[in-house]
Structure 1
Amino acid sequence: MATYKKRGYKPKNKEEERTLAEQGSTTAEVFSALDESASRSEQWVARNQNYILGVIGVIAVAVLGYLGYNQFVQEPRNASAANEMLYPNQYFNQALESTAEKDSLFLLALNGAEGKYGYLDIIEEYSGTPSANIATYAAGMAYKELKQYDKAIEYLEQVNPDEEITASLALGGIGDSFFQLGQAADALGYYEKAFAEDDNTLTTPLYLHKAGIAALELGQKEKALKYFQRIKDDYPDANEARNIDAFIGMAQTQ
C-alpha cells in the first residue's frame, strides 16, 4: 500500500530512499506513456484532418440537404400538385352529378383541357406526392364509370393505402370492375379485402352486401348468408340493411 508523503519529506534511511526513487521512476514512466499515446493520437488526427472534416461535411450536407429538399423542393411540389388537382376534381364531381354529359366530363377529369392538367398528367408529373396518389384513385374510379374496367383495375391496384377508407374504396372498385367483367370469384376476393380493411358504417356494410351477392353468383350460399346476416346484426341502420331479409331468404333457399 502506498504511503502519502508530505512535500519536503526526507527518507530516514537508504532503503526508504531507494523505494522512493523506484516509485518516482514508475510514475515518470506512466506519464511518459500517456504523453506518448496522446502524441500519437494528435498525430493521427493531424494526418487525417481532411478525412475527418470531409466526413463531418458529408453528414452536415446530407442533413441540410434533406431539410432543404423537404422545405424548398418537396413541399412546394406537393403544394403545386394539390393546386393542379382543383381542375380535374371539378369535372369529376360534375360527372358524378350529371347524366347527359357524364362520359365527356370524366374524360376531361382524366385528360385535362385548355392547358390544365388532368389526373393522368398529375400522376406522371407529380409521382410520389399525396395528390398523385389521390389522382391514381380518381383515375381508376373514372375508368370504372366509363366501363373501361381493365384500366380501372390497373390504376386502382396502384393506389397507396394511406387512409383505410380510401383503401377500402379502391379495393371495392377493383371488385366492381371484376364483377362487371364476369369474374365473380375475383370480385368476391376484393370485396372481402375491402370490408376487412376498415370497420366503419359506410364501406363495411356496402362491401359485405356486394360480397354476399358475388357469393350467391358463385353458388356459395353459406358464405352469402353469413355476410347478409352480419349486415342485419351489426349495421341495422345502413342502407344495405333495408331489404336484407330478402337477400337472407335467397341465401337460405336450397
Structure 2
Amino acid sequence: MATYKKRGYKPETKAEQQEFDEQESTTAEVFSSLDEGASRSEEWVSKNQNFILGAIGVIAISVLGYLAYDQFVEKPKEASAANEMYYPQQYFDQALVATNAKDSLFTLALEGAEGKYGFLDIIEEYNGTKAANLANYGAGMSYLNMNNYQEAITYLEDFSSDDAVLGALAKGGLGDAFMQLDQASDALGYYEAAVKHSGNDYTAPKFLYKAGITALEMGDKDKALGFFQKIKDEFPKSENANSIDAFIGMAKSGE
C-alpha cells in the first residue's frame, strides 16, 4: 500500500530508496505524457488553423446571410404580398354581400383585374408568406361559393391559422365542400374539427348545428343529440338555439 511521503523525505533503507525512485520515475512519465499530449494538441491546431478559421467564417457568414435575407428579402416580400392582397380582398368582400353577379366578383378575386393580382397570383408569386396563406383561404372560400367544391378543398386544406374565427371557418368550409360531394363522414369530421378549433359564440354553435344535421342524415341520432344539446346548454342565446328543441326532439324520436 502506498504511503504519504512528507516534503524532504529521505529513504532510510535500500527498499525504501527503490520504491521512492520508482514513484519519481512514474511521476516523470505522467508529466512527460501530459507535455506530449499538449504538444500534439498545439500541433493539430497549428496544422488545422486555416480549417478552424474557415469553419468559424462559414458560421459567421451563414448567420449574417440569414439576417440579411430576412431584412432585405423576406420582410420586403411580406410587405409587397400584403399590399397585393388589398385588391382581391375588395372583390371578395363585395361578392359576399352582392345580390347578383356574385360569381363574377369571386372570379375577379381569384384571378385579379386591371393588372392587379388575384388570390391565385399571390399564392404562386408569394409562396410561403402570410399573405399567400390568407390567399389560400380567400381562394378556397371563393371556389366554395362558386360551387367548385374540389378546388375549394384544395385551397382550404393549404390554409392554416390559429385564429379562432378564420381557422374554424376554414374547417367548416371544408365540411361544407365534402357535404356537397356527398361525403357526409368527411364533412362531419371537419365540422367537429371546427368546433374543437374554437368554442367562440359565433362559429361553435354554427358548426355544432351542421354537425348535428349531418349526424341525423347519417342515422346517428345519439351523436346528433349530443351536438344539439350542447347548443341548448352552452349557446342558448345563439341564432341556432332558436329552434334547437325541435331538432332535439327529432334526435330523440325512436329512442
TM-score, normalization: structure 2? 0.86
Q: How many angstroms apart in 2 are the aligned matches of 1:177 and 1:19?
A: 92
Counterpart position of 1:105: 105
Q: After superposition, what is the alpha-carbon deviation per residue over 1:15-48, rounded to whole angstroms, capped at 9, x for unaligned?
A: 9999999888776655544433322211111111
Q: Are residues 1:203 and 2:206 paired?
A: no
- Distance apart, 1:202 and its partner CA: 1.7
Q: How many angstroms apart in 2 are the aligned matches of 1:19 and 1:157?
A: 82
1:138-153 mapped onto 2 (5 Å cutoff): 138-153=138-153
Q: How many angstroms apart in 2 are the aligned matches of 1:181 and 1:64?
A: 51
Q: How many angstroms apart in 2 are the aligned matches of 1:215 and 1:22?
A: 91
Q: How many angstroms apart in 2 are the aligned matches of 1:78 and 1:230?
A: 41
Of all paired residues, the percent bearing the same amino acid is 59
- Distance apart, 1:100 and its partner CA: 1.8
Q: Are residues 1:3 and 2:6 paired?
A: yes
Q: How many angstroms apart in 2 are the aligned matches of 1:246 and 1:139?
A: 36
Counterpart position of 1:250: 250
Q: How many angstroms apart in 2 are the aligned matches of 1:219 and 1:27?
A: 89
1:90-239 mapped onto 2 (5 Å cutoff): 90-239=90-239
Q: After superposition, what is the alpha-carbon deviation per residue over 1:96-124, rounded to whole angstroms, capped at 9, x for unaligned?
A: 12112321111111101111111000111
Q: After superposition, what is the alpha-carbon deviation per residue over 1:106-150, rounded to whole angstroms, capped at 9, x for unaligned?
A: 111110111111100011111111111111011000111111111
Q: How many angstroms apart in 2 are the aligned matches of 1:174 and 1:83?
A: 27
Q: How many angstroms apart in 1 are the aligned matches of 2:29 and 2:105?
A: 90
Larger deviation, residues 180-189 vs 56-65:
180-189
Counterpart position of 2:48: 48
Q: After superposition, what is the alpha-carbon deviation per residue over 1:64-109, rounded to whole angstroms, capped at 9, x for unaligned?
A: 2222222222111111111111111111111112112321111111
- Distance apart, 1:208 and its partner CA: 0.5
CA contact (8 A) 2:119 2:135 kept: yes
CA contact (8 A) 2:164 2:200 kept: no
TM-score, normalization: structure 1? 0.87
Q: How many angstroms apart in 1 are the aligned matches of 2:22 and 2:220?
A: 97
Unaligned runs of 5+ in 1: 6-10
- Residue 83 of structure 2 aligns to which amino acid in structure 1? N
User: Structure 2 vs 1, CA of residues 102 and 24 (structure 1 numbering), >3 Å: closer, same or farther?
Assistant: same
CA contact (8 A) 2:85 2:131 kept: yes
User: Structure 2 vs 1, CA of residues 177 and 19 (structure 1 numbering), >3 Å: closer, same or farther?
Assistant: closer
Unaligned runs of 5+ in 2: none
- Residue 62 of structure 1 aligns to which amino acid in structure 2? S
Report the secondary structure of 1:71's partner residue. helix
User: Structure 2 vs 1, CA of residues 25 and 247 (structure 1 numbering), >3 Å: closer, same or farther?
Assistant: closer
Q: How many angstroms apart in 2 are the aligned matches of 1:232 and 1:26?
A: 88
User: Structure 2 vs 1, CA of residues 24 and 114 (structure 1 numbering), >3 Å: closer, same or farther?
Assistant: same
Q: How many angstroms apart in 1 are the aligned matches of 2:222 and 2:25?
A: 95
Larger deviation, residues 33-42 vs 106-115:
33-42
Q: How many angstroms apart in 1 are the aligned matches of 2:82 and 2:42?
A: 55
